[in-house]
Amino acid sequence: MRLSKNAKASGKDAKMKIGFIGLGNMGGGMAANLAKAGHEVHAFDLSGEALARAGEAGCHPVSDAAEAVNNMEVVVTMLPAGAHVRKVYEYEVIINANPGTLVIDCSTIDVDSARDVATMAEAKGLVPVDAPVSGGIAAANGGTLTFMVGGSDDGFKRAEPILADMGKAVIHAGGNGAGQAAKICNNMLLGASMVATCETFKMAEKLGLDLQNFYDISSKASGQNWSMTSYCPVPGVGPQSPADNGYEGGFAAALMLKDLRLAMEAAESAGADVPMGAEAAKLYEQYAEAQGQGGKDFSGIINMLDKG
């Protein structure tokens, strides 16, 4: 695994013709940052509103995915699930991209789909890279995402400066599919640690502790973790977080559930024993689906743990 330290500098050297497919909550900000960096971004989405926003941000809206791929040096996709990525690659990217085109999929999908589309792309002379992101909507808009990259050394070298124009860290995790594997493992850890953080604060409250005081103690002790110190699920405690905004914004619980389900599929495929991850998946399924809170930030699961 290698962390790029100079990608930002190298990203300023060459401006590219980039096709960008998928302008949702994450993709819209990412495409805008590529345009801001000086790249010629040809953007496509099924949503007319998303296309209009991309145009306002300096991208060139196009009428279909094929137009976003034709004669581009780089194609970036940011789509909801593996099925969407497979379909776009099979019917748009593979057919319309010139040989040698760098194709970067930033979606969070299952490892098998990532490897399959990479094999498909390589067979057509394209250079595939999977580069899922960490950081959420605010980081996508602010250009401070972390990219976990799977692909060949050459693919990573070519993708590195492009990704650096959308993020703060670009890390080579290994061959094709390794970026997805790293993202799934990371988010399983995040989901489980958030649940543990939430239940700990609830227990501290019921034991009569002042929660700010408990935060001051635990954030400097062995229980310290990112879910506590950077994304505290308790309103008014720690740095500003979605908890201070009624658990709106941030990383939706439905997306955390999606990632945990991908982690469970990967664990079963690899024969890995993940009891904590499995329990987190069950809890987020209850919160996001059974209780209908999928649109709330994933830290809002603290409210489900409150038994009064």
Catalytic residue among 5, 183, 258, 282: 183
Tally the residues of the chain: 308
Q: Is 220 a catalytic residue?
A: no
Assign 171 to helix, strand or coil: strand
Q: Which long-range contacts (CB under 8 A, 24 or more apart) does 221-226 make?
A: 225/193, 225/197, 226/190, 226/193
Q: Distance between CA atoms of 25 and 34, rounded to whole angstroms?
A: 15
Please state, in angstroms and rounded to a whole number, the distance separating the CA atoms of residues 11 and 17: 13
Query: CA nearest 30: which of 114, 131, 176?
Result: 131
- Going by their DSSP bridges, the two strands 60-61 and 40-44 should be labelled as parallel
Q: Can you tell me the distance from the alpha carbon of 253 to that of 267, in angstroms, rounded to the nearest whole number?
A: 21
Roughly how many angstroms between the first and final C-alpha of the chain, as a whole number?
Answer: 46
Distance CA 60, CA 53 (A): 10
State the alpha helices, DSSP H only, in the chain: 7-11, 27-36, 48-56, 65-69, 82-88, 94-96, 111-123, 136-142, 153-164, 178-206, 211-218, 226-229, 253-270, 275-285
* Catalytic annotation, residues: 183
